[in-house]
A and B are shown apart, each in its own frame.
Chain A
Amino acid sequence: MIELTPAPAFAALSLPVTGAGTRIDALPPARITALAPYCGQLQALHALLGGFPEPGQVLELDGLRLVWAGRDLAFAFGEALPTGIEAHAALTDQSDGWAGLSLTGPGAEALLARRLPFDVRRMAVPGAARSLLGHMPVLVIALGRDEFELWLWRSMAACVLHHLTPV
């Protein structure tokens, strides 16, 4: 079996970046599992997990963060998926495909306002939104008015960072 060496998505890029009242840093890699409920299984999934996010919701559950990630789709951040969950939802390991950035500071909202085509000030806290940064799909998580996470396709990490970097 081939042994692959894990490498951070932003290793070659100089992080953290600061400027415009914002600090941009890489988030540690996370175990991300996409949960797509099977037809008619939403209630069972709800009971098993202790909740399932509505559009825009972020739920902090026992050792697991559930983030709404699209129509009838949630991303589970964390290792603690309950046993038997595969009977209720299609599970896809997304861990390798995504890279996360944290944006913190009083300028974070203004920085994102220049780059995202929707108003992050209207996001609930905690809250989640899917959108585009330039042409690149992103998952935005608001953890505070000055604290955001930006999850993006790992292959586009350098490009997203280029778009984000305050001039």
Chain B
Amino acid sequence: MRLICPCCGWRDRREFTYMGADDYLHRPVPDAPPEAWDEYLHNRTNPAGAARDLWYHDPCGTWVCITRDTITHAVTDGTRLEDAQ
């Protein structure tokens, strides 16, 4: 599996560390209702098709939002986290 780092280009999966779905980009405000926090912390969709995940490129220190397809395994995009938010 190869992923795209916005700094380094296509790199082997072993250079990356997985964080989770891009739901982590949408943190509720501190006084949001418990349902919003429950949604943020625990509930994930299980898409067949396009999925967005957060990965860390260990060698260069860049957080990346990867777009991939869970059916074909195609990796189509890698965006710096600050640009993805």
Contact = CB atoms under 8 A, between A and B. Distances in A.
A118 B11 contact: yes
Interface string B37-54: 000000000000000000
Contact of A71 (B7, B11, B15): B7
B62 A71 contact: yes
Task: Give the residue among A73, A118, A130, A132 with the most B Cβ atoms within 10 A.
Answer: A130
A131 B7 contact: no
A156 to B, nearest CB: 14
A56 interface: yes
A132 B61 contact: no
A55 interface: yes
A118 B62 contact: no
Nearest to A117: B12
Contacts of B61: 70-71, 73
Contacts of A71: 7, 60-62
B7 A137 contact: no
Contacts of B8: 55-56, 118, 129-130
Interface string A115-139: 0011000000000011110000110
Contacts of B69: none
A35 to B, nearest CB: 14
B59 interface: yes
A91 to B, nearest CB: 17
B73 interface: no
Given A55-B7, A56-B8, A71-B7, A132 B15 contact: yes
B77 interface: no
B14 interface: yes
Contacts of A131: 11, 15, 59
Given A70-B60, A132-B14, A137-B58, 17 more contacts: A55-B7, A55-B60, A56-B7, A56-B8, A70-B59, A71-B7, A71-B60, A71-B62, A73-B61, A117-B12, A117-B14, A118-B8, A118-B11, A118-B15, A130-B59, A131-B11, A132-B59
Interface of B: 7-8, 10-12, 14-15, 58-62
